[in-house]
Amino acid sequence: MKRLGLLRHAKSEEDRPTGHDFDRGLSPKGRRAAETMGRYIGKKIDAFDKILASPAVRVQETLNIALDAMGRAAPVDRTETRSLYLATHDSIEDVLEKMGGDADSILLVAHNPGLEDFVLDHVPNDGSCALRDIVATKYPTGAFALLELDIDNWADVSDAKAKLITLTRPRDLDPTLGPEMAN
């Protein structure tokens, strides 16, 4: 059994002076959401063995703020990979297969729609998971999902079935942080 945390970057700036999407940082609301989610993850979720993240500015800011708020040492094994920038769920699977190694648990921080599609592809659509229905409606900025995958090796992730253990949105913890916007 493997454990996978999926954290979507928090709300970003609308525009960046460079005009490049990759360079957009977090909005003030996004910074508050990243801190809120970090505190939640730090209190409620066991530490992860490895972190895999998109190198986009908004993802790195989300991750750094969340890690600070967790109040515990981050895993030494932290990898930024361009393959996670705006990744599809297939690209996410490829990254996990190639970079998962022997980690039992991974925190993956990236973008939508790849994160949402990953959850929808791996959690059975049999009506038994109300949280899956929420993901199908919207996986907002700053949202965190925790999945248990029925695999022993990350190389098998593409065929894995998952159990969605939790789905937490910033607005679930602080109503002033919702409703979330699309970016």
pLDDT more than 90, % of the chain: 85
| Cα distance between residue 73 and residue 42, in whole Å | 10
Can you give the CATH number for the domain in which 32 is found?
Answer: 3.40.50.1240
Domain span holding position 138: 2-177
Residues 31 and 10: beta-carbon distance below 8 Å: yes
- Residue 156 belongs to some domain of the structure: yes
Is 20 domain-assigned? yes
What average pLDDT does the segment 143-156 reach?
98
Instruction: Decide if 118 is inside a domain.
Output: yes
Where are the extended beta strands (E) located within 9-150? Answer: 50-53, 77-80, 105-110, 144-149
Per-residue pLDDT tens over the stretch 104-130: 999 999 999 999 999 999 999 998 899
pLDDT in tens, 23-64: 999 999 999 999 999 999 999 999 999 999 999 999 999 999
Q: What is the pLDDT of residue 182?
A: 45
Inside any domain, residue 182 = no
Whether 183 is covered by a domain: the verdict is no
Kindly tell me if the per-residue pLDDT of 16 is higher than 70: no
- Residue 127 domain flag: yes
Q: Is the pLDDT of residue 83 over 90?
A: yes
Q: Indicate whether 99 belongs to any domain.
A: yes
What is the number of domains present in the chain? 1
Residue 183: pLDDT band with limits 50, 70, 90: very low
Assess if residue 168 is contained within a domain.
Answer: yes
